[in-house]
Amino acid sequence: MSTSGATPAPLPAETGAAFVVDVEGFEGPLDLLLALARQQKVDLKQVSILALADQYLAFVGEARRASLDLAAEYLVMAAWLAFLKSRLLLPEPPAPDEPSGETLASALAFQLQRLEALRAVADRLAARPRLGREVFARGAPEAVATTTVAVVRAELSDLMRAYAAHLVRQTPQQLRIAPSDLDTVAAALERLERLLGATPGWAELRAFLPPGTVEGLQQGRLKARATLAATFAASLELVRDGRLRLSQSRPFGPIHLAPAPPAAGDAG
């Protein structure tokens, strides 16, 4: 394993080989890494992980320069490889509870070998003479007998399917009730109007939410979020009608509202 001190393999762009930046063809970062490793034209056991990291980073850099939309997993792998590269190049040893760069590199090499070996045997498996294609069963199974024994044919898959079908069929019944307990804008409007009369000045929007909503929001509950959305929508309606003022001092900051002052005539 030559993880350090190896001459970096030429970058894809320099090889002249038509290694077009086309992530579409790859099944994820590992697949891409394996393809890049094969370009080094050595046994995977001898692959230079450092060179591989450079190749990958160059590939990703090229893809971003071409404004290709790279899936997040490719970028995560790029970040990880950059980290690995620094580990391999830095002289100082890592903290005792962290694996060394060599260990990480070996692990990556192992993963590539495992995937490549797996693909090789998968191909060998697929190339075997297969029943119904190259090898055949008795074409005319004979019913020689005269007595009939009924054999029920049912596989675990049938059982699972039956239960799954049952579950799928059950669910719409629950569906009917679900939406009804979400707060509506109309309800929020009514609540705001009621509470607004008792509010002399500025107050935070959250003060107008029904009890329990704030806790629900902290837990990310959908019902609470719907209530918040409905209340905000209702407040906008009141602003439109000139009955309410809204204020927010900074993005994502608290929203305050206050009753609008009585109309001071139509001066203007």
Partner 1 sequence: MSPVDPLHCRLAEAILFASAEPVSLKALSQRLPEGADVAAVVSDLEAAYRDRGVNLVRIGDAVAFRTASDLAALMTEEKQVQRRLSRAALETLAIIAYHQPVTRAEIETIRGVHLSRGTLDTLFDLGWIRPKGRRAVPGRPVTWATTTAFLDHFGLAGLDELPGVDDLKAAGLLDARPAIQVYGEGREGDEDGCLDQGSP
**Options 22, 38, 42, 73; binder of partner 1; rule CB under 8 A:** 73
Cα distance between residue 72 and residue 78, in whole Å? 10
> Phi and psi at residue 6, in whole multiples of 5°?
-80, 150
Binding mask 139-178 for partner 1 (x = CB under 8 A): xxxxxxxxxxxxxxxxxxxxxxxxxxxxxx-xxx-xx--x
In angstroms, give the least distance from the CB of 265 to partner 1.
Answer: 35
Tell me, residue by residue from 2 to 21, as one string, x for binding to partner 1 by CB under 8 A and - for no binding. Answer: --------------------
Tell whether residue 186 is a contact of partner 1 (CB under 8 A): no
Q: What residues between 92 and 121 interact with partner 1 by CB under 8 A?
A: 97, 99, 103-104, 106-108, 110-111, 113-115, 117-121
Residue 244 found at the interface with partner 1 (CB under 8 A): no
Cα–Cα separations (whole angstroms), residue 266 to 58, 81, 157, 213, 236:
66, 67, 75, 39, 22
The SS3 call for residue 179 is helix
Is 240 a binding residue for partner 1 by CB under 8 A? The answer is: no
Tell me which of 29, 48, 55, 208 binds partner 1, using CB under 8 A.
29
Rounded to the nearest whole angstrom, what is the least distance from the CB of residue 104 to partner 1 in the complex? 7
C-alpha span between 14 and 16 (Å, rounded):
5
CA 26 to chain centre: 18
DSSP state of 131: B
Q: Tell which positions 37-56 bind partner 1, by CB under 8 A.
A: none
Position of tokens 């139509």?
Answer: 266
Residues 94 and 267: their CA atoms lie apart, in Å, by 74
Question: What gap in Å lies between CA 8 and CA 49, rounded to an integer?
Answer: 9
Which of 13, 79, 90, 236: binder of partner 1 (CB under 8 A)? 79
> Minimum Å distance from CB 157 to partner 1?
6
Nearer to partner 1, 16 or 129 (CB): 129
Site size with partner 1, rule: CB under 8 A: 100
State how far the Cα of 127 lies from the Cα of 140, in Å rounded to an integer.
27
Least CB distance to partner 1 at residue 247 (A): 12
